[in-house]
Structure 1
C-alpha cells in the first residue's frame, strides 16, 4: 500500500472517530448493551473478561476515551473501542462504523456519493472534527485539574490513615502481611507513586473489590515494596499481593508493583531509566494460562506472559514465572495464587 493511501486511510479513521463521537449517546450503548450512564461515564461489563458486574470498565461519553483500570485495557476513541469489542483491527472497525453512521470516506466505499451528498458529508465531518477537538481540549484540562485535586486528597487520606491490621479479610485471603498498607475503617489503602511522588490510593474493600480514587492518575503509577540499595535485585510485577509473595519468596526482596499488564511497560521504562545502571531489574510475570485477549484484531494467549516478554525484550531484562506443581489448578495465574494454594494444600512449604 502506497504512503499516500496509508495517510488517506488514517485520515478516514480519524473522521469516523469524530462522527462516532457525535453519536456516542446511542452508539456506546449499542456497542456495550450491559451498562449504565453515570456522571458522564458509561460503565459497562468488559466484553473480553467475562465480568459479571460493573466496576472498572467505562467509556467517557464526551471524548470517546475508554479504560478498564483492572486489566489495563484502554483507548482514545470509539474506533478503538469498537475494535476491542468486535475483536477486529481498527481499520476494519472504522469501516464497519462508517457503514453504521452512513459515511463514505474510504477509497473502496461501496456506494459513490453525489456532489450534493459529498458536500453535506464534508460539512458534517468538519463540524464533528471541530467538536471533537474542543471536547478533547476541555477533557484534558478537566483531567489535569481533577488529577491535581485527587493527588492532594490521596496524600491527605494516606497521612490520616492508620497502619493496616493483619486480620483484614483481603490480607487473610491472600496470606500476606499488612506491612506497607494502611487502613481506614474496613478499607485497605495502598499508596500509588509515580516517579517517587504519591499520586493515588488503591482502595481494597473486604470483599476484594479494588477502586482507585476518582480522577486520580494511574498511568505510570506503581506500589513499592521495600527500598532497594545499589546492587540489589529489584523485581517488577503486576499486583500488590503478587509483589508481597515475590518479596517473601526471595528473602524480603524489593518489588515494584505496576498494577496491570499495560502499565508494566510504563513503569519498567521509568525504572530502567532511573535505576538501570545500579539495580538488577527482573520481571516477575503473571502466567494467565486460561486467558486470551484481543490486540488489534489478533487473539493473544496468556497476556501476563505476552506483555512481560514484550517489555523484557525491549530492555533486555530477565523474566521469572511461577513454577507450577503438576497438580496445581490451571486457574492459578500468579505468584500469590501459587503461594496461597501451596500453604492451603501443602502447609507452609516454600515456593
Structure 2
C-alpha cells in the first residue's frame, strides 16, 4: 500500500469530484426535509442557509451541464445566497467562507490522506464528470435549438389576423379593444388547434387536448425568436376566456433574458417604428409581467410608448435589453406578497446595475394588476355613460 501523499488538486478538479458523488454531497449539505422531492433533474429541499419554511424555491440541479448548481428563487440574483456552484453550496450550508468550504470539500473527499491509488481514482472520477458535463452540455444545446425550432413553427402556423377570432374576443373580454389602436400587435397570432400537454407533478395525472390558443413570439435582444408563449382558450358562460386546464399559459423554449415585444410605439414623425434591437440610442421601454398587462399599458398610453412583456416576475429584471435602452418603466402589481415585492426590488437593482434609469408605474386605480385597473376604468366609464 502506498504511503499517504499531500496532493494538490485544482479547484475545477475538486468541483468535478464532488459532482461525481452529488447525491452524497446534497445528502450532507442540503439534507432532505418534509416535502422534499425530485423533478426534471432537480432536487428540491429547504435552503440550508436560511430559515426556509417551505420546500419549493430552493433546488439543486442533479444532472446535465449545470449539475451541482443551485438556486433559491425566493432570494434571487445574489451570488452565494440566491445561486451558486457546489462549493458555494457547502459554504451556504455551513455558513462559512469559500476558503473554508474548499477545506471542507477536501475533507469530505478524503483528499488530505489520499494514497497514490486514491489520487488516481479521484482524478479519474473528476475527468469522467467533466466528460459527462461536456456531453450533457451538447445535448442540452441541441434540445434548446429543437425547442426553439418547434416554437417558431407553432407561431408561424398561426393566423396573423386576429379580428373576430377567439383571441380577439378573449382580449375584448379583458377590456382590451385592439381596434382603438388602429393596428394589432404583430407579435400575437391565433392558432385554432394548439396541442396541450400537462403532467401533474404530485399525482402523475396527464392532461392532453387541442384548444384554440393565443400565441406570442418571444425574442432575444438580437430580435431572434427563441420561444413562444401560448394562452389556451375556451368559450364559457361569459364568452371566451382561458381554457379550464391546470396551466392555461405555457412557454415553449428557453425565455430567460428574452421578452415579448408587444408594441413598438410610434416612430419618428409618426412613421413606422423600428424593432427594439434596431432602434436609436436613448430608448425608453415599459416592461410588464404578462401579455394582458402589457396590452393594457399600450391602451392607457394611447399607443405612444414601446411596451414589452417579461412573461414572469423572475424575468422582469433579467431581460437582456440592447444597449440603446437608456431607461425603463417597470409596471408593478398591487401585490402584498413579500416574495413578489422582493422580486420587484431585485428587478430594479438589476436594471440600475445595467446603467438604466428606472421608474415604477404602480396601478393606482384598484384591482391586482394593470389589466384589472383597465377593466375597472372601462366599467366606471360605461356606468357614467349609461347615467348621462
TM-score category of the 2 structures, normalised to the smaller one: 0.5 to 0.7
Aligned equivalent of 1:317: 357
Q: Residue deviations 1:263-294, cap 9 Å, x none?
A: 34453532xx2x33xxx74322324642334x
- Whose RCO is larger (CA < 8 A, sep 6+)? 1
**Kept in 2: contact 1:16–1:94 (CA 8 A):** no
Change (3 A) 1:218 1:173: same
Q: What is the Cα-based RMSD across aligned positions, in Å?
A: 4.9
Q: Secondary structure at the match of 1:259?
A: coil
Aligned counterpart in structure 2 of residue 193 of structure 1, from 219, 238, 242: 219
- Structure 2 gap segments, 5+ residues each: 1-8, 95-99, 179-183, 194-210, 233-242, 269-279, 384-388
Q: How does 1:163-312 map to 2 (within 5 A)?
A: 163-164=161-162, 165-166=165-166, 171=171, 174-177=174-177, 179=184, 180-185=188-193, 186=211, 187-194=213-220, 195-205=222-232, 206-207=243-244, 209-213=248-252, 216-228=253-265, 229-230=267-268, 233-252=284-303, 253-270=305-322, 273=323, 275-276=324-325, 281-287=327-333, 289-293=335-339, 301-312=341-352
**Kept in 2: contact 1:18–1:125 (CA 8 A):** no
1:248 Cα deviation from its structure 2 partner: 1.1
Change (3 A) 1:31 1:200: farther
- Counterparts of 1:343 and 1:238 in 2: how far apart (Å)? 21
Change (3 A) 1:83 1:323: closer
Instruction: Give the TM-score, by structure 2 length.
Output: 0.58
1:64 Cα deviation from its structure 2 partner: 7.2
Instruction: Give the TM-score, by structure 1 length.
Output: 0.63
Q: Secondary structure at the match of 2:362?
A: coil
Q: Secondary structure at the match of 1:131?
A: helix
1:32 Cα deviation from its structure 2 partner: 8.5
The structure with the largest alpha-carbon Rg is 2
Q: Residue deviations 1:5-42, cap 9 Å, x none?
A: xxx997798468525535599899936845465xx635
- Structure 1 gap segments, 5+ residues each: 1-7, 66-75, 99-103, 294-299
1:149 Cα deviation from its structure 2 partner: 2.3
Bigger share in helix: 1
